[in-house]
Homo-oligomer: A and B are copies of this chain.
């Protein structure tokens, strides 16, 4: 099992050309703007943004609408050409990158960018797959509504991609993952038929949950082309606080205290270890610690409500007041303006960048039951420190969802390459503890091609077999995003 973070780019073969009849049919269907074949045009579509994978493809297809997409898929299927759906190309796990045989085509949704409708009665947005999450958020905000999904890649990630990967992010604790936001869906199946599930219904018990199945299938069952997204009234009041706590258990107890009062008021609840915070304060300009002294751990709490009254402020003050009295929180700062709120969030959002500046690092996007978080962080920290003396264990993440980015930063002054050479040992060490505690090896990022090798051990037996049967039933030629989710048989 090779270490994926150290893979060298595979030697490039030439792109295999499309069969001429397929090429001609696609050109006629999609026009020159919809069919890219020159190496300089297609290369950017063949490298994931982390640059872990360097693939090749025979062409990039850019259908302008569902009908073109469906016809293009049917043609590729007839010619047995593998297809790799791609949205904003922001996968963390190589989920949208073709292999290096050059036989596949990439089918890009980037030209399908229409927002058809914002419905104020149903609070929905009907949108094509290629609209970026940011553009969709902005369109909702313009109408006084909230599209309640926020991830760091939202400027590039598109609606098709966030649904195909069931994206999570900062507001999952309040509104759920992307799957919960998709009220309707349209997808082109591997044979080119269109699955039209574009219904605006909150209750509809008429057969299998195909919409939920397509969401999170990482492009292996079809290409999502349109969706109806459930919106929310925009929050009119927000309260944001950064709190110093003793450890993860302290952060979790604070979360429970807020949840007991009103789970639906918790817009976000983030955890940051002292180690990771210290890196931010030291290495990021304009991000000093806004508390009087460093603490072992921190929680960033954001409450939100569409209500215009001041009940949120009293909720925040009541819970924090009790927590300060009880010693659960040792210090706290409340944002008194939008500028202060943004600077608290900036501190949270710079953790990945600060870790990058601190040297080589290894990411573990894991989840465990909430009750297991303290044990997980304790045991995994000790195990990693035993494995690599001087390692900087710098976890942070969406603790309200049980989702910790258990990131590991190289010892100060150590050789980055030597550190990364042990990446697999570190990942396996963390994974073993996650597994023992009933957690998952991928909370948000999906399986893609990076983590397929973990599937047999973690999801083997009846679970993986059931997934394989479904895949085979809907894509018997294995043409739709092959090599993703499933390990080679």
A interface residues with partner B (beta carbon < 8 Å): 119-123, 165-166, 168, 172-173, 176-177, 179-180, 189, 193-197, 199-210, 212-213, 215-217, 221, 232-233, 252, 256, 259-265, 305-309, 311, 314-315, 367-371, 398, 401-403, 438-447, 451, 454-455, 458-459, 461-467, 469-474, 485
Q: A210-B467, A212-B212 are in contact. List 11 more A-B contacts (CB 8 A).
A: A121-B256, A177-B203, A193-B465, A201-B369, A202-B367, A203-B367, A205-B440, A206-B455, A206-B459, A207-B455, A208-B213
Q: Is the CB of A402 within 8 A of B213?
A: no
Q: Is the CB of B207 within 8 A of A485?
A: yes
Which residue of chain B lies nearest to A445 when distances are taken between CB atoms in the complex? Answer: B205
Q: Is the CB of A203 within 8 A of B262?
A: no
**Which residues does chain B contribute within 8 Å of A463, judged by CB atoms?**
195-197, 207, 210
Q: Is the CB of A442 within 8 A of B371?
A: no
- With beta carbons under 8 angstroms apart, the residue of B121, B368, B485 that contacts A369 is B121
- Cα-based distance from A176 to B447 in the complex (angstroms): 28
Which residue of chain B lies nearest to A177 when distances are taken between CB atoms in the complex? Answer: B203
- Cα-based distance from A402 to B201 in the complex (angstroms): 7
Distance of A461 from chain B, by nearest CB (Å)? 8
Distance of A213 from chain B, by nearest CB (Å)? 5
A to B CB contacts below 8 Å, 18 in the list: A121-B370, A122-B371, A166-B209, A180-B180, A193-B462, A194-B462, A195-B466, A197-B463, A200-B438, A201-B367, A202-B402, A203-B440, A206-B442, A209-B216, A261-B307, A309-B315, A470-B473, A473-B473
Q: Is the CB of A469 within 8 A of B459?
A: no
Which residue of chain B lies nearest to A454 when distances are taken between CB atoms in the complex? Answer: B206
- With beta carbons under 8 angstroms apart, the residue of B173, B200, B206, B305 that contacts A441 is B206
- With beta carbons under 8 angstroms apart, the residue of B193, B197, B206 that contacts A458 is B206
- Cα-based distance from A194 to B461 in the complex (angstroms): 9
Most buried by B among A168, A179, A447, A462: A462
- With beta carbons under 8 angstroms apart, the residue of B199, B315, B402, B469 that contacts A203 is B402
Q: Is the CB of B195 within 8 A of A447?
A: no
- Cα-based distance from A205 to B165 in the complex (angstroms): 8
Which residue of chain B lies nearest to A264 when distances are taken between CB atoms in the complex? Answer: B264
Q: Is the CB of B367 within 8 A of A233?
A: no
> Knowing A201-B402, A263-B233 touch, does A208 contact B474 (C-beta < 8 A)?
no
- With beta carbons under 8 angstroms apart, the residue of B233, B260, B439 that contacts A306 is B260
**Which residues does chain B contribute within 8 Å of A172, judged by CB atoms?**
202-203
Which residue of chain B lies nearest to A255 when distances are taken between CB atoms in the complex? Answer: B121
Closest 3 CB pairs of A and B: A264-B264, A121-B371, A212-B212
Distance of A200 from chain B, by nearest CB (Å)? 4
Which residue of chain B lies nearest to A202 when distances are taken between CB atoms in the complex? Answer: B401
- Cα-based distance from A16 to B370 in the complex (angstroms): 51
**Which residues does chain B contribute within 8 Å of A205, judged by CB atoms?**
165-166, 168, 216, 440, 442-447
Q: Is the CB of B306 within 8 A of A315?
A: no
- With beta carbons under 8 angstroms apart, the residue of B120, B203, B308, B369 that contacts A200 is B369
